[in-house]
Structure 1
């Protein structure tokens, strides 16, 4: 009887936190990150692909998002695309907070809600319209939760493999970088999970290879080296031009209102600094510096948030809550921006 009451109470708290999270993620990011049209990046190509993803214009390494939008049948105008991707963004946050609240602590879930709502990742979601990033974030959040789940090893391996496979079909290079980072840093605290992570990576790689062979053979989608050519242009003078400019503001824009939280995490868990440095080095090799760093670093911050909460004292948790709730306030104290092509782009 006592067990059932406890379980029911956990579900009730999780449901209430989920409702609060939905409202916050619906209202707060558009308020914090309202941007003029000149600051927004609009991907009109995704709209056309959502009408028919089976064309030679479909990038082989970014298939899942246009395919899901096409299958949904909801896309008839560009505004529909914006609405659906925004729903996916909110859904990702709600699912993550709900699972954290149920599995760990509702207070941790609520702090993660404020962390997300004022994060540079949600700034990017509000300003870079029509990209596959919301689905990538949804899948990597599911991957994070599965890592901390208590499933049987074979079930856990299968679930991780499926999520990783879907992530690879959505954005191959993005997902590989994310999973590499998450796995390495997760293993620093959970070395006994190495076999599960290795097996899931191998299985998902086999599935993805079969998927590529299938689409190259039976669809008009073809191989292209766009990613490789763009990456190769970043060396030498172009790399120097991109990364020597706006160093101070570029650094501030890495986390914006989350800086107190990040510094606290680095103090509590110094290994996190290596993860963030790695994210920064990867982002320096792309024109979309702010966007790439936000996508790569947010799952790492979430991973260490969970790990930190599990070992924190009551006072340390109070400090964490204070920094989390204060992050949206800090965001409103100065004009927000992101870095692109070596330039600072202000939202307003």
Structure 2
């Protein structure tokens, strides 16, 4: 059985593997949206007016604006359409990522897919639909894949900063830091094009808010500051051991194997430093697993690429077992000190409420 799965993972069409992984995601963890995405949908109805002028404590949400602009451009009128837009962007984006990685190295694209669906990032992206995460993930992933092209760097960094300006800053800092430590010199093409793109995206976003008199008084930094340290410390240390495992889940073994062979060289040092920085950022969030995965996944791709020979020397059975384990070991995440794994309970509750609210269906099935 293991050999058959191994042959499937390493010989079958990469898109067929993606399709099967998506089916497994639906059955194991489900697909769902996050309630706060409704605020972004409201903002997409009119991008020239601040929808939260009277509710200043919600204005920090506007620093994640790409989905709002895209929904407005596509003239999406319903909340369900808004959620579907994020879902299809994620699927289409994954296909582009896989295609792009395959052109570099097909083996690398298969390992990417195995890690993606064995880390919590896949569960988070498909069960937190409606917010900026699919855009942040796809843009940051493509940024490291196309890092040799200054124009691609510039465009993707601009889009990334519009998708989530604060996370974009950290991701671009981490990627540049990894490249500098690993190559022992700055990659000036990537450094300048990514930083200029980042600055342009932030400028365009702020300029849009300024000329349309949004008068934003409550930023994400205000939100972080007003939440207080106790809330963050409680979220981090309530289930600390579970939190540490949730960062990579069963993929931790692959990371361990690579670090074991590289902890003493620049690649290993760069990866460890980036992980520590990403984790330190999560100490001022309440959704540590999610934030860490979004920040570190571009670095994971770089680490895999720089250690491609080590990956190819590893037994394919290891990756196969990791893939099998990911089906049975919950790809849970920590949010505000609580452990979440599947969206099925939430979806069942939504279905029950829908049936209750529809009198004819309720009378039929009660």
Shorter-chain TM-score bucket reads 0.7 to 0.9
Correspondence for 2:125: 125
Q: 1:47 aligns with which of 38, 41, 44?
A: 41
Calculate the TM-score normalised by the size of structure 2. 0.78
Correspondence for 1:56: 50
Q: Distance in 2 between matches of 1:262 and 1:243?
A: 22
Decide whether the 8 Å contact of 1:51 with 1:70 is kept in 2. yes
Instruction: Evaluate the alpha carbon distance shift between residue 90 and residue 102 of structure 1 in structure 2; reply closer, same or farther with a 3 A threshold.
Output: same
Q: Distance in 2 between matches of 1:336 and 1:197?
A: 33
> Over the residues paired in the alignment, what is the CA RMSD in angstroms?
2.6
Correspondence for 1:139: 139
Deviation at 1:235, TM superposition (A): 5.2
Gaps of 5+ in 1: 1-15, 150-155
Gaps of 5+ in 2: 1-11, 52-58, 264-268, 346-366
Instruction: Evaluate the alpha carbon distance shift between residue 212 and residue 135 of structure 1 in structure 2; reply closer, same or farther with a 3 A threshold.
Output: closer
Q: 2:28 aligns with which of 32, 45, 48?
A: 32
Cα deviation digits, residues 267-296 of structure 1 (max 9, x gap): 233322222222111112101112111211
Is 1:288–2:287 an aligned residue pair? yes
Decide whether the 8 Å contact of 1:111 with 1:321 is kept in 2. no
Decide whether the 8 Å contact of 2:176 with 2:191 is kept in 1. no
> Which range is displaced more, 257-266 or 177-186?
257-266
> Which range is displaced more, 232-241 or 251-260?
232-241
After superposition, where does 1:162-173 map in structure 2 within 5 Å?
Answer: 162-173=155-166
Instruction: Evaluate the alpha carbon distance shift between residue 219 and residue 327 of structure 1 in structure 2; reply closer, same or farther with a 3 A threshold.
Output: farther
Correspondence for 1:13: none
Secondary structure at 1:188's aligned position in 2? helix
Calculate the TM-score normalised by the size of structure 1. 0.82
Is 1:329–2:324 an aligned residue pair? yes
Q: Distance in 1 between matches of 2:205 and 2:307?
A: 39
Secondary structure at 1:53's aligned position in 2? coil
Q: Distance in 1 between matches of 2:236 and 2:145?
A: 34
After superposition, where does 1:71-110 map in structure 2 within 5 Å?
Answer: 71-73=73-75, 75-103=76-104, 105-110=105-110
Q: Distance in 1 between matches of 2:205 and 2:94?
A: 30
After superposition, where does 1:173-212 map in structure 2 within 5 Å?
Answer: 173-208=166-201, 210-212=203-205
Decide whether the 8 Å contact of 1:21 with 1:97 is kept in 2. no
Instruction: Evaluate the alpha carbon distance shift between residue 106 and residue 94 of structure 1 in structure 2; reply closer, same or farther with a 3 A threshold.
Output: same
Decide whether the 8 Å contact of 1:257 with 1:330 is kept in 2. yes
Instruction: Evaluate the alpha carbon distance shift between residue 207 and residue 133 of structure 1 in structure 2; reply closer, same or farther with a 3 A threshold.
Output: same
Deviation at 1:243, TM superposition (A): 2.1
Q: Distance in 1 between matches of 2:278 and 2:172?
A: 12
Instruction: Evaluate the alpha carbon distance shift between residue 82 and residue 269 of structure 1 in structure 2; reply closer, same or farther with a 3 A threshold.
Output: farther
Decide whether the 8 Å contact of 2:66 with 2:159 is kept in 1. yes
Q: Distance in 1 between matches of 2:326 and 2:234?
A: 28
Cα deviation digits, residues 124-163 of structure 1 (max 9, x gap): 012212101101111112211112x3xxxxxx33331221
